[in-house]
Structures are given as C-alpha cells and as structure tokens.
Amino acid sequence: MTKKEFWRWPEYRHTVEGIDPKNGKVISGGVDIGSVSSKTVIMVDGEVFAQSVMRTGSSSPDSAERTMNWALEDTGLTLKDVQYVVGTGYGRVNIPFAQKAITEIACHGRGANFMWGPTVRTVLDMGGQDCKAIRVDEKGKVQNFLMNDKCAAGTGRGMEVFADLLSVPIQEVGDRSFAVKEEPQSVSSTCVVFAKSEAVGLLRSGWSKDEVLAAYCQAMAHRVVDLLNRVGVEKEFVITGGIAKNIGIVKRVEKELRIRALKPDQWRDDPRFDPMLAGAAGAALFAKVLYERSKG
C-alpha cells in the first residue's frame, strides 16, 4: 500500500463559460511547474478561459504536457491553437512547448495584479518548497523580492511534515487549528526538524492535535512575516500559492502583520481566482504581450 498523502489539494480543471475562443485575437498560455503541483492557464485576449491544476510528476516535460492537455480538454482547442506559451516555476526550463521561461517572481507579481487588481503592492507566495515575498507596482512589476527556498520552515513542505505527523488532511488543517479554546503558545523552534520533536513532546504531555496544529501554524506565520518584513509590507496585501487556501496560516499572518489580505476567499466562488494559479496566470499574460510584440 502506498503511503497516504494528507497534504495535497485536489486536482481539477475548469472552463470559463461565455467565452468563445474562436472570436479571440490572442490565445496565450501560462504553465507553472511547481515542486508539488503543475498549473496551466489558457487566456483569450488576456481573460482566463481554461485552467487546470495537477500534481507534478517525476518529469517536468511530462507534467507540463499533461496539465496543458487537461486544461485544453473539451475546449475545442489544441496546443497548436495556443499562439504563445510562457513557462514558469522551478521546472520552467524543461517545458518543451514553451517559447519562453520567466521567473516565478515576475509571474506571481503580474498574476496577483491581474487577480486582485492594481492596488496590490505586496504578494506573499507560499509554495510547496519555497516562500516568496514580492513587492510590486501598480502594473504588477516587481520592485523588491525575496525568495526562501533553502529552509523548509515557512513552506508547504514544513506543513506537510506536520500534517503527516498528526495524520490530518491538509484541507482540515486550517479549521482544526482554530478549534482550540485558546490560542496556545507557538512552537518555539524555527527548524522543522526540531519543531517536529517539540510537537511529539507536546502530544505526549497531553496537547490535542488541534492545539499542536495551532502552535505550528503560528510558528509558520511568524516565519513568513519575518520574510515579508524584509521586503517591507504595504497595502494591498495578497497571498498566492497553495497555502493561501489554508486559513490557519492566512489568518495568523494577517494578525501578526496587522494587515488583512485582500479578498482571500474570492476563489471559493470563482475558480478563475484560485491563488494557486497566480503564477500561471502571470505567465499567460506575459505570453500575450510577447506574442503581440513578436507580431510587431
């Protein structure tokens, strides 16, 4: 039996109704190959038309192909119809059908500007294996950035270690971390390895799983706030990446920053605003610009 994985968000695809790609002038694509999930956004004239989220397999080119094909499924389009594709994410240089690779930092900045509008100044992207703090201007252009992909603390990976330890599915982590009578003291170690042994001790001394989750979410929030403070936080502030869907972290980051994230829940009603797709959306927007430029 394979080990149960408690931490992944479900795979899905989505087509936006009411858009006819046949009437569009530019069909562009953005593919974001992250360490955990691979995402594609197809845009028609700069508006989201289709999207998919899948887990990343062992090979980046395969993952890229699968997520792209899935996004195009039932849309009447094939890869040939997509005029320009930009790749991003850690696997960006291994996407055979992408015309250009652009850093995640630039794509997340651009994508956040698209999803939340020109008032966004600070983007926190919490990915599976990294965490980025990005300052952008009103056009979504990067002004200051910081990426931590060295230390697992403050990344999805750190959360995974805890979800695994406690056998709690990731979708429940947020809610369960608030199902405590009183917010417990934060786990004191920054290091995931030491925090884990601390947690084992806490469980043994009678803490509930929920309390331990709360204590870890807090430590994690503290970590990312440290990073954010290095680039300076200015309103509006948004969170992208898989962890943006974990309210256990989001709420605690907001509390520590004393700034509320802009519309953190809009994705629940409209999948176009899935914060996991910000990088792919930014890439698709760059693709449109690059395509237009190539046509003069």
Partner 1 sequence: MITAGIDFGAKNVKVVILDDEKIVARGSALTGFDLKIAVKDASEMALKAAGLKLDEITHITETGIGQGSVAFAADSVSEVGANAKAGVKLLPSARTIIDVGAEEARAVKCDESGSMEDFVVNERCAAGAGAFVEAMARALEVELGQMGPMSLKATEAVPMNAQCTVFAESEVVSLIHAQTPKANIARAIHDAIAERVISMVRRLGITEDVLLVGGLAYDVGYVDSMKRGLGVEVHVPELPEYVSAYGAALVAQERAKE
Partner 2 sequence: MLIANYGYKDGSGEYFITLDTDKCDGCGKCVEVCPASVLEVIPNEYDIEDGDIMGVREEHRHKLKYSCAPCKATSGDVEPPCVLACPTRAIIHFLSEAKGQVL
Give the binding site for partner 1 (CB under 8 A): 129, 150-152, 157-158, 161, 189-194, 201, 204-205
CB under 8 Å to 52, separation ≥6 — which residues?
11, 12, 13, 14, 39, 40, 67, 68, 70, 71
As measured in angstroms, the least distance from the Cβ of 132 to ligand SF4 is 16
Main-chain phi, psi angles of 145, to 5 degrees: -145, 160
Residue 283 contact, options partner 2, ligand SF4, partner 1, none, Cβ 5-8 Å cut-off depending on partner type = none
42 or 228, CB closer to partner 2? 228
**Minimal distance, residue 62 CB to partner 2, in Å:** 23
Contact assessment for residue 96 and residue 82, using Cβ atoms and an 8 Å cutoff: no
Beginning with the edge strand found earlier in the chain, give each strand of the sheet holding 84-88 in spatial order. Answer: 12-15, 47-55, 37-44, 27-33, 84-88, 100-101
Cβ proximity to partner 2: between 12 and 194 the closer is: 194
Q: Which residue lies nearer to partner 2 by CB, 49 or 216?
A: 216
In order of 15, 75, 212, 217, 277, the CA distances from 127 in angstroms are: 24, 29, 22, 15, 11
What sign has the CA pseudo-torsion 259, 263, 265, 271?
A: negative
Q: Does 231 bind partner 2 (CB under 8 A)?
A: yes
| 256 lies in the site for partner 2, by CB under 8 A | no
Q: Which is nearer to partner 2, 50 or 290 (CB)?
A: 290
The partner in contact with residue 161, picked from partner 2, partner 1, ligand SF4, none with C-beta cut-offs of 5 to 8 angstroms by kind, is partner 1
Residue 84 touching partner 2 (CB under 8 A): no
> Which is closer to partner 1, CB of 119 or CB of 188?
188
Rounded to 10 deg, the angle between the 156-166 and 192-204 helix axes is 30
Member of 230, 235, 263, 268 binding partner 2 (CB under 8 A): 230
CB closer to partner 2, 77 vs 215: 215
Q: Residue 231 binds which entry of ligand SF4, partner 2, partner 1, none, with Cβ cut-offs from 5 to 8 Å by kind?
A: partner 2
Task: Report the nearest approach of partner 1 to the CB of residue 56 (Å).
Answer: 13
Which residues would be at the binding site for ligand SF4 (CB under 6 A)?
151-153, 190-193
Task: Please report whether residue 88 would count as binding partner 2 according to CB under 8 A.
Answer: no
Interface residues with partner 2 (CB under 8 A) are: 102-103, 105-106, 141-151, 153, 189-191, 194, 223, 226-227, 230-231, 286
